[in-house]
Every structure is written in C-alpha cells, then in structure tokens.
Amino acid sequence: MTLSMLVMMSVLAEATDDATLAKRFFEEGRAHTKAGHPQAACEAYAGSLHYQRTLGVLLNLAVCSEQLERFPDVWRYADEAQVLAGRTQDPRGALARTLQKRAERFVAFVQVTVDTPGELIINGGSSPLGTPVTHVPVPLGSTEVLVRAPGRLTFVKTATLSAGQVLSLEPWPHELSATSTASYAWFTPSAVQTMKVTVLGVDAAFPYFGIPANGCTGGARYVRALLDESVDGMAAGTRVVVRTSASSSAATKRTFVGLRRAGLGRDGTPVFCDVDS
C-alpha cells in the first residue's frame, strides 16, 4: 500500500468520524429539544456544528437560542443558514429569514471597517476582525467595542444602542482627525507603560487631540522622540511625543516611566503623557 493511499484513507476516516460525531450531537440536541431543555439542546447542537456546519444544525441553534433570548446568536446562525440554503435553493431558507427578522427587533449592530486584520472585542467577547468590513449583531443597551491589530493603536468606543441601530466604526482613519470623538486606550485602560526613547527636540506646543479626555492634564513640554525599543505594537524607531514636566534636551537618551496614551497629533504621531509629572 502506497503512502498516498494511506494518507487518503486517514483523511476519509477523519471525515467519517466527524460526520458520526456531528450526528451523535445532533440527535442529542433533538432529544433535549423534545424534552423542553433549550440550554442543553443548544450545547449539543453547538457540539454538532463543531464537526459539521449544516443547515439543519444552524436552524436548530437559531431556534433554541431564540428560546433562551440570545438574539444576537439567533441572528448570526440564521444569517449563515440563509447563505447555505441559497447555495442549494433549499426552501428552509425562508425559515432562516423569518428567524433573523424576529431577532432584529432585539439586536443592534457593530460594523467595523479596517484595512488590517486583527481582533474585535465586544463587551469582553473576542472574535476575529476581518477586512474590509466586519458586521456583528450585539445586545441592546450599553456596548463597549475594542479594536486592535498589530502595529496599530488600540481603539475603544462605548455607546448605548437601540434596536436596529448600526454603530459604524473606522478606527484608524480617525486617528488623523483633530475633531474625532473616538478614543484610544491601552489594552487594559488602567495600564501604564515604560518607554525608552532618543530625544529629537522639545516643544512648548504640539498639534494633539484627546489629551484632557484621557486624564493627561499635567506637563508643559512636548518631547519629540524616537522609540529605542518596540512598545505597545509600535516598532523601534517609531516617532512619538511625550507630554511631560521633566526636562530633556535633543540627542539625549531618556526613559519615561508611567506613560499613558493620550491620542494622536494631527500629523498622526502617537502622543503619550507622563502621569507622574
């Protein structure tokens, strides 16, 4: 028996095992559904979906999620079910549309447009951030959105959303807007950072925005510098500005301790403040 035949048999065996496990979880979910246990049913259907993404599993997940009033999940499962039904002209697509329409009365949406893949965190729950647009259903009420990607400042936005509302965000183009109300924060908002830099010069003013809103009220100087070491997703050599009361002079090396991100200048330069100054 050749190596290629052994590999093919292994792949077929794995596929068969996945189908068997998917069916086992699906039948378990149906049993819980008949018994009136939507929580257990959803858990079983989710197990089935892990092995095979089928129209029947998605529809059953949408139904049990509706019974549990998890309306963003209903919308998401029904949306995927419609895509699958459309590929084969399956009439169950009508049921998926009905479920999605019912869910829309109880959800809002976050829509994020980016040019860099990353991570989207909504109310603490993490999911991949795709390009160019990621569209996510969310519960009604207070919503915190955090967007991050390698080499970019982490974007945070909080809003109170009503039924059907779409919160449209374009995190990084706003970095250059002096009038933007978007805020940028650490991965952990209370965290502070240590930064080693080479000083390029010291200014009495700098075209920034966002500093007062981020608690950076102290400091009379703006130290223009280059990073000596990578920090917070920014590579060594990145241009930064630190608002501080400490004295500095051009061409010197300096370590700032306890820095907090303050925003960006109108030219896009990241601005930090020395919270100990």
Please answer whether residues 169 and 120 qualify as being in contact, where contact means their C-beta atoms are separated by less than 8 angstroms.
Answer: no
**pLDDT score for 12:** 42
Return the CA Rg of the chain: 25
The pLDDT tens digits of the residues spanning 161-187 come to 999 999 999 887 644 433 343 454 433
Q: Give residue 175's pLDDT.
A: 46
Whether the predicted pLDDT of 216 surpasses 80:
no
At residue 178, the pLDDT reads 35
Q: Tokens in use for 253?
A: 């090396």
Between 166 and 4, the higher pLDDT residue: 166
Do residues 28 and 57 lie in contact, with contact meaning Cβ atoms separated by under 8 Å?
A: no
Instruction: Give the whole-angstrom CA distance, residue 262 versus residue 215.
Output: 8
Q: Over 90: is that where the pLDDT of 220 sits?
A: no
Which parts of the chain are beta strand (E)?
107-113, 118-122, 125-129, 133-139, 141-148, 155-161, 166-169, 183-184, 193-203, 221-227, 239-244, 253-264, 270-274
Determine the topology of domain 107-174 in CATH. Immunoglobulin-like (2.60.40)
Which residues of the chain form CATH 2.60.40.2070?
A: 107-174
pLDDT value, residue 67: 97
Please, which residues bridge with residue 221 across strands? 244
> CATH 1.25.40.10: which residues of the chain?
3-103
CA angle 44, 48, 53 (to 5 degrees): 140
For residue 211, the model assigns a pLDDT of 66
Q: Which of 174-183, 188-197, 228-237, 261-270 has the highest mean pLDDT?
A: 228-237
Given this model, what pLDDT does residue 245 score? 85
pLDDT digits (tens, 9 = 90+) for 193-212: 789 999 999 988 887 766 66
Instruction: Kindly compute the dihedral angle of the four CA atoms of residues 79, 84, 89, 91, in this order, to the nearest 10 degrees.
Output: -60
Q: What is the pLDDT of residue 209?
A: 64
Residue 232, pLDDT score = 72
Q: How confident is the model at residue 265 (pLDDT cuts 50, 70, 90)?
A: confident
For the residues 28-50, what does the mean pLDDT come to?
96
For the record, the structure tokens of 5 come out as 């035949």
| 28-63 b/e (C-beta count within 10 Å ≥ 16 → b) | bbbebbeeebbebbbebbbbbbebbebbbbbbbbbb
CA distance 210 to 208: 7
CATH number 1.20.810.10 given to 3-103: no
Neighbours of 173 (CB within 10 A): 12
What are the pLDDT digits (tens) for 95-154?
A: 999 999 999 999 999 999 988 899 999 999 999 999 899 999 999 999 999 888 876 767
